Structure 1
């Protein structure tokens, strides 16, 4: 079943809750909480429902006791994908309960409730032995949410890491060098591995550097804060002062991935007399990074399209653990990217042809061509007047690719390969 959505519980949803309750009893799942507890929590605690049209097909209900939250009811209708909807409802419930300050979300489920186990595991809960006891530590606490809002940061949804299609070589490298030591810091310490504190991602425009930075934050379940130099320029203390103040606020977060895109804007080669304002900002950033590195639970990710423009002192050992190239997608990666953007309704699409035609395209180029093909197919379908039009067709994609100019020129691609050899640090 498709077309379901999740929303907050309304008082007139009680009949739907009762139907789900009766269905649960019918499969011999003896609930831990009674019906009166469930209905009381619907009214005064936290509850979300999944609906298709006006039909309630799922519900997740929780209550908070100081810093501890409990899932008192999780159920989906028999005719829907229980794991998928259940996981989404748990994510929505967690989001609402995190705002009241819980640090742990737990659940007790009867042993017969096997159908709901997958939803908890997919949402990051840990299964305890003997009882189906689930608990999950909320990655960002209430007191941090205000700081995040002030910084323009956010908690990214789970699953972005798995959603990165293709780019397997880059993804594997980031998993081993960056994510693994940070996610398993105690084990890393036992093996004498120092988790990275700062990395640089470099490569041509549109190759997915921002996507990887967000995916790392999602994978670690850390707050994501993007620092925009252009937005800081109007600060009364100037860009250098604004940068210093931002990192001071970031230090109040327990865990954070801090992302600076187009870092060459504030870390370019220092030259000229007298020093320019940009040189002052570069000096400030060079002082900030060592202090940032002393704080556990943080990762600075800087991205640049023009690594040759960066100041030599910026990239030296001791400031950045890794300088990682993010290049154009190979054949396997292009295949995965095309499959992501070709809709199910497309007719007889030769993906191999599209992969061959888009050699030298960045992920952003492929997305643009795919969107262009879909838009063209939609316009043709509407203008045809057909009652049940088909498409998109392979011709739509071929035409879109032919009309798309690759962002990365042969010269830029050549320079990137040279940069891998001269400045890459893996």
Structure 2
């Protein structure tokens, strides 16, 4: 007669755990903990199995967090349910974990779970009025070393929402880039292929770098900025260093890769004799198709001078979109000014006058003027007889004077050329 035994988990039991996992999911129950977490706890924490004729028919897996233990997985094969096996596995697991000094043993169950008798019979109590929240950590520990080697980082959450104004650009980037990448299941349902590479072009200071970082923040992906000027000093040469960098990027699970001023390494080819940069451009043209074959990554190239780019660089098949990022309109300038003016004086500031006087200013120009006004007001208060305590803060005249002393980065000629480029080059 077959004998039922309860023993500690052994690495040879993994196939049995996998079978129990799939059988549980087939009933419509989605376990709270993922399969990788369950297998990790089997090997690193505490686990017992029920064995009949050397076949694993049940498993109970737990882990400890300080004085509290958690049941990570409990399942019994469907052919052996209602035999008290679940309760006996829980008892064995609790006995195994007792020496580490637990004061509480807890379990989280999906609301579709039907098999709760084992927990009730072992003295577990259902707690009411509890809400469970969880958040997936976007970058795993094993990725961090590769990310540090690349000089990459995780962008702070909320960068997307902090962009003042530029609503048209934000809506466009949200629809074309963020949504298909963040919701690949939805994109697949509608036959949309998530983008792999885009070019952002526009006058200097319009926020192309800010948008690239915000996209990474919005997706919660790693952000890696590639600096051609730094790679140029590599012993392998710029082309070799570029190739090696993208090889390392392939080790990341998710990544937004940003190359600013890409015209430096994607210049128009031609001329005799060929320039030294043509080899770099050729290398980049070979890298992009390989990059596109890797899922869960986005290459964002930015340029102030899109006409300087090699014509082959922008063709279909390399970049999904060529998106213009222009000067802020009046609504955007209103939002940008409101972000830089201290809240306690905002109601007393003639924002409409500031918006009108900064037509043609880039976001960077407005930030410079705002900081100039604030610094001037602070220095004036420090040197006044009333002192800084008696000063309310910057006034409308402070801001208007600062605007008058600020030279717009983008000339009329550059702005007109940008509008022409939108008509002839943009692809949205």
- TM-score by shorter chain over 0.5: yes
Q: Secondary structure at the match of 2:233?
A: coil
Q: Name the counterpart of 1:135.
A: 134
2:403 paired with 1:405: no
Question: 2: distance between equivalents of 1:171 and 1:314?
Answer: 25
Structure 2: which 5+ runs fail to align?
1-62, 71-105, 109-127
SS of the aligned residue for 1:226 comes to strand
Task: Name the residue aligned to 2:162.
Answer: 163
Larger Rg: 2
The answer to whether structure 1 residue 246 and structure 2 residue 248 are counterparts is no
Q: CA deviation at 1:178?
A: 0.5
Encode CA deviations 1:46-92: one digit per residue, 9 max, x unaligned: xxxxxxxxxxxxxxxxxx969xx999xxxxxxxxxxxxxxxxxxxxx
For residues 207 and 177 of structure 2, the distance between their equivalents in structure 1, rounded to whole angstroms, comes to 17
For 1:382, the equivalent position in structure 2 comes to 382
> 1:271, 1:338 → 2: CA distance?
45
CA shift for structure 1 position 212: 0.4
SS across alignment from 2:257? strand
Matched with 2:364 is 364
Could you tell me how far apart the structure 1 residues matched to 2:132 and 2:392 are? 49
CA deviation after TM superposition for structure 1 residue 285, in Å: 0.2
Change in CA separation of 1:70 and 1:393 when aligned onto 2, cut-off 3 Å: farther
TM-score for the superposition, normalised by structure 2: 0.69
Aligned to 1:307: 306
- Aligned mates of 1:376, 1:137 — CA distance in 2: 45
Instruction: Please report the TM-score for the alignment, with normalisation by the length of structure 1.
Output: 0.70
Instruction: Report the counterpart of residue 334 of structure 2 in structure 1.
Output: 335
Match of 1:198 in 2: 197
User: Helix, strand or coil: the match of 2:269?
Assistant: coil
Q: Which shows bigger deviation, 381-390 or 363-372?
A: 381-390
Relative distance call for 1:287 and 1:395 in structure 2 (3 A) is: same
CA distance in 2, matches of 1:397, 1:65: 58
1:257 match: secondary structure: strand
SS at match of 1:259: strand
Shift of 1:134: 1.4
SS in 2 for 1:161: helix
**Equivalences, count:** 307
How far apart, CA to CA, are the structure 1 residues paired with 2:295 and 2:212?
Answer: 18
Correspondence for 1:15: none
Report the counterpart of residue 145 of structure 2 in structure 1: 146
1:263-282 to 2 correspondences below 5 Å: 263-282=262-281
What's the Cα RMSD here?
2.1
Q: Summarize deviations over 1:4-46 as a string: whole Å, max 9, x none.
A: xxxxxxxxxxxxxxxxxxxxxxxxxxxxxxxxxxxxxxxxxxx
Q: Distance in 2 between matches of 1:281 and 1:305?
A: 19
1:317-328 correspondence runs (5 A): 317-328=316-327
Q: Secondary structure at the match of 2:172?
A: helix
1:175 corresponds to which residue?
174
The alpha-carbon distance between structure 1 residues 181 and 381, as it changes in their structure 2 partners (threshold 3 A), is same
Question: Which residue number corresponds to residue 355 of structure 2?
Answer: 355
Asked whether the 8 Å contact 1:158–1:221 carries over to 2, the reply is yes
Which of residues 405, 419, 422 is equivalent to 1:420?
422
Q: Write the deviation string for residues 267-316 of structure 1: whole angstroms up to 9, x where unpaired.
A: 01012223222000000000000000000000000000000000000000
Which residue of structure 1 lines up, in the alignment, with residue 373 of structure 2? 373
Q: 1:225 maps to what in 2? A: 224
Per-residue CA shift, 1:146-171, capped at 9, x if unaligned? 11111110001110011111001000
Partner SS state of residue 241, structure 1: helix
1:392 aligns with 2:367: no
| TM-superposed deviation, 1:192 | 0.5
Unaligned runs of 5+ in 1: 1-63, 72-106, 110-128
What are the Cα deviations for residues 110-156 of structure 1, in whole angstroms up to 9, with x where unaligned?
A: xxxxxxxxxxxxxxxxxxx9841112111001111111111110001
